[in-house]
A = this chain, B = another copy of it.
Amino acid sequence: MNIKVLLDESEIPREWYNLAADLPTPMQPPLGPDGKPVSPDMLGKVFPMNIIEQEVSSDRWIKIPEEILGILYKWRPTPLHRAVALEKALGTPARIYYKNESVSPPGSHKPNTAVAQAWYNKQFGIKRITTETGAGQWGSALAFSCALLGLDCKVYMVRISFDQKPFRRLMMETWGAKCVASPSTETNAGRKILEEDPDTPGSLGIAISEAIEAAVTDETGQTRYSLGSVLNHVMLHQTIIGLEVKKQLAKINEKKVDVVIGCAGGGSNFAGLAFPFVADKIVGANIEVIPTEPSSCPTMTRGPYSYDFGDTIGMTPLLPMHTLGHTFVPPPIHAGGLRYHGIAPLISQAVIEGLLSPRAVHQIECYEAAVLFARTEGIIPAPETSHAIAAAIQEAQKAKEEGKEKVILFNFSGHGLMDLTGYEKYFAGKLQDYPLPEELMNKSLAAIKNLPKPKAVKSGRW
* Chain A positions near chain B (C-beta within 8 angstroms): 1-2, 4, 6, 8-9, 66, 69-71, 73-74, 81, 85, 103, 105, 107, 144, 147-148, 166-167, 170-171, 173-176, 371, 374-376, 378-380, 415-418, 420-421, 423-424, 427
Contacts and interface: CB of A to CB of B under 8 A. Distances in A.
A71 B81 CA distance: 12
Contact of A424 (B1, B69, B170): B170
Is the contact region of chain A dominated by helix, strand, or loop, or is it mixed?
helix
B1 A70 contact: yes
Contact of A371 (B171, B174, B371, B421): B174
A105 B375 CA distance: 12
A85 B2 contact: no
Given A103-B103, A170-B424, A74 B70 contact: no
A380 B174 contact: yes
A166 B427 CA distance: 13
Contact of A176 (B6, B103, B375): B375
Given A105-B378, A105-B379, A371-B174, A74 B420 contact: no
Number of copies: 2
Contact of A4 (B73, B144, B147): B73
B144 A71 contact: no
Contacts of A416: 174
B418 A147 contact: no
A198 to B, nearest CB: 25
A103 to B, nearest CB: 6
Contacts of A376: 147-148
Given A170-B421, A170-B423, A175-B378, 9 more contacts: A1-B9, A2-B71, A85-B148, A147-B376, A173-B423, A174-B380, A175-B374, A176-B375, A417-B418
Contacts of A176: 375
Nearest to A69: B1
